[in-house]
Structure 1
Amino acid sequence: MSVTVVDVEAAARRIAGRVRRTPVLPVSANLSIKLEHHQHAGSFKPRGAFNRMLSAKEQGKLTGQGVVTASGGNAGTAIAYAARELGVPARVFVPETAPAPKLARLANLGADVVQVGREYAEAFAAAEEDGAATGALFVHAYDQPEIVAGQGTIGLELLEQLEAFDTVLVSVGGGGLIAGIATALGNQARVIGVEPELCPTLHQALAAGKPVDVEVGGCAADSLGARRLGALAYDAVMRYDVDSLLVPDDAIVGARLELWREYRLAVEHGTATAYAALTTNTYRPAPNEHVVLISCGANTDPATLS
């Protein structure tokens, strides 16, 4: 199954008025930052969450049982937020190891939080079983067509907000964001994925010729710690010739601090991963190449910025 630009355009119409049209910050003549960390719930993910739920509602599949998902991170928060706004219940399965602040935030958004198992995979399996048993709509964190199409609306906004740009740098975890943006842009700009060396899902998928399980860790694992690239993401990166770059943790930490000190952008390590490709010269733009950085999330502890 593939997601097309027609799907992304339909998503843009569907979620209009539900999400923020986030601004683009011109850093220099050849660098712009799309401030998606100013989105509702602190990340880009409400775009996909709203599209998934509203599409299901159109088809009569969003019932009084609401939605169910597995995620203690940005996806869970976004899904809980969208469910609250649409007036349906949300049940979020998380591992027993999930930190208390994330559980509290989900609860504050009105979600029913269920802790199952020690690892995300156990919570994911329990969420799928719950959806099948109760009739609640299962919302995947990144690997569903409606999710990918919703995230792709960022790409459509860029085409409207900037007269021209050459390259988009996107942090990659499960791949829903980069799949959507690559689909929206097609051949109008180059899309490059940037990953932590300790969370190389896209890099390993390209090397293996298919999505494969990888060990994940490091400072950005809370937002980019998917163990396998999504099937839809793999399809998109192959269709649109998306490259993968790896950056080390120390560079990510430094890039996050630089984004705060230089531009007063308080972002999470996942966002800083894309910027680290520039600060380390892992990606070297050509002369006059206009690069756009997607600032994808702000769910971070501001006390760690100085």
Structure 2
Amino acid sequence: MAAPLPRETITAAHARIAGRIRRTPVLRPGPDTFGLPGRLSLKLEFLQHAGSFKTRGAFNTMLSETVPAAGVAAASGGNHGAAVAYAARRLGHAARIFVPAISSPAKIEAIRRQGAEVVIGGARYADAQEACDRHVAASGALRVHPFAAAGTIAGQGTVALEWDEDEPDLDTILVASGGGGLVAGMASFWAGRGKRVVAVEPEGSCALHAALAAGGPVDVPVESIAADSLGASNVGDLVFGICRETVDHVALVPDAAIVEARRALWRECRIAVEPGGAAALAALLCGAYRPASGERIGVLVCGANVDAEGLAALA
């Protein structure tokens, strides 16, 4: 089973992509913000190019691999596709992105705006991944996997490298998980360094929680308000192996808590994110994760691809 990625691999990934990504800021909202005692650190990764952390893994993969004339291909609920399209355009590669029918129009438009071809690949993410795999087999395009690839995981792990430089004394870090590539990369970086990394999943989309409970990857049904960004039905062997060794546990949150966390981010900080971007904070607000007195908590805030209707719902 897979071991955590070496920190040197993540450090090398950061050096490789640093000139092409944004170093996103950290916000310390102050005591009693969100009605929570103690110190809180928010890593504002929703300010990343293309609206999510996935731009890091996309650049790292394309800069680490040989991209053929057929270009790159990816399956995505939306954010990964926008990131791959963004990176491909800036590196001069053609991109074809396969999305499920549940993807939001805002995310599909974000992909097209970057010049990529968009293909509706079925009803759910797993269907889009199968369609992408068929295209890769037929065309020879480079597949940029959203989570189950070492290059992707190393790129996503660079979030932890930056955050650790800005906030070296955090005790616990809460990270939303869909396919698990982000939390696997971040937990790899902090492995053995006394940090507690907690994955946060919606109750209706909990592939990592199910895998850890079963002792291996299993298929799960996906039904959540955050399914278009946290909707993987199976985390796969690589993510499972890393997370089994490095993630403290998985906190499950109901959709209602995600809705409230989005509203709280807007109300308290004027931060507008999609549901998946608020899932980590939801774990604190609903009590799915209860910090000890004096515990220093980091919350990753990611996923800015929200449409006008979603913005109106925050008011």
Under a length normalisation based on structure 2, what TM-score does the superposition of the two structures give? 0.92
Question: Do residues 14 (structure 1) and 16 (structure 2) align?
Answer: yes
C-alpha distance in structure 1 between counterparts of 2:291 and 2:183, whole Å:
19
Kindly tell me: are residues 119 and 271 of structure 1, through their superposed partners in 2, closer, same or farther at Cα, counting changes over 3 Å? Answer: closer
Gaps of at least 5 residues in structure 1 are none
Q: Deviations over 1:231-286 (max 9, x none)?
A: 22211221124211111111111111001101111111112111111111221111
Aligned match of 1:304: 313
Kindly tell me: are residues 116 and 193 of structure 1, through their superposed partners in 2, closer, same or farther at Cα, counting changes over 3 Å? Answer: closer
CA contact (8 A) 2:187 2:247 kept: no
CA contact (8 A) 1:275 1:293 kept: yes
CA contact (8 A) 1:176 1:230 kept: no
Matching of residues 1-306 of structure 1 within 5 Å: 1-2=2-3, 3-28=5-30, 30-56=39-65, 61-96=66-101, 98-188=103-193, 189-300=195-306, 301-306=310-315
C-alpha distance in structure 2 between counterparts of 1:197 and 1:120, whole Å:
17
Kindly tell me: are residues 241 and 55 of structure 1, through their superposed partners in 2, closer, same or farther at Cα, counting changes over 3 Å? Answer: same
- SS in structure 1 opposite 2:250? strand
Kindly tell me: are residues 244 and 77 of structure 1, through their superposed partners in 2, closer, same or farther at Cα, counting changes over 3 Å? Answer: same
C-alpha distance in structure 1 between counterparts of 2:160 and 2:106, whole Å:
32
- SS in structure 1 opposite 2:28? strand
C-alpha distance in structure 2 between counterparts of 1:96 and 1:253, whole Å:
22
C-alpha distance in structure 2 between counterparts of 1:200 and 1:127, whole Å:
23
CA contact (8 A) 2:253 2:279 kept: yes
Q: Deviations over 1:112-132 (max 9, x none)?
A: 112333333332122112222
- SS in structure 2 opposite 1:219? coil
CA contact (8 A) 1:26 1:33 kept: yes
Residue 165 of structure 1 and its aligned partner are, at CA, apart by 0.8
Pairwise CA RMSD of aligned residues? Answer: 1.5
- SS in structure 2 opposite 1:6? helix
Q: What residue identity is the alignment partner of 2:12?
A: A
C-alpha distance in structure 1 between counterparts of 2:14 and 2:218, whole Å:
31
Q: Size of the alignment, in residue pairs?
A: 302
CA contact (8 A) 1:175 1:230 kept: no
Residue 136 of structure 1 and its aligned partner are, at CA, apart by 1.1
C-alpha distance in structure 2 between counterparts of 1:139 and 1:150, whole Å:
12
Q: What residue identity is the alignment partner of 1:86?
A: L
C-alpha distance in structure 2 between counterparts of 1:216 and 1:113, whole Å:
22
Q: What residue identity is the alignment partner of 2:145?
A: H
Residue 228 of structure 1 and its aligned partner are, at CA, apart by 1.0
- SS in structure 2 opposite 1:199? coil
C-alpha distance in structure 2 between counterparts of 1:86 and 1:102, whole Å:
21
Kindly tell me: are residues 122 and 196 of structure 1, through their superposed partners in 2, closer, same or farther at Cα, counting changes over 3 Å? Answer: closer
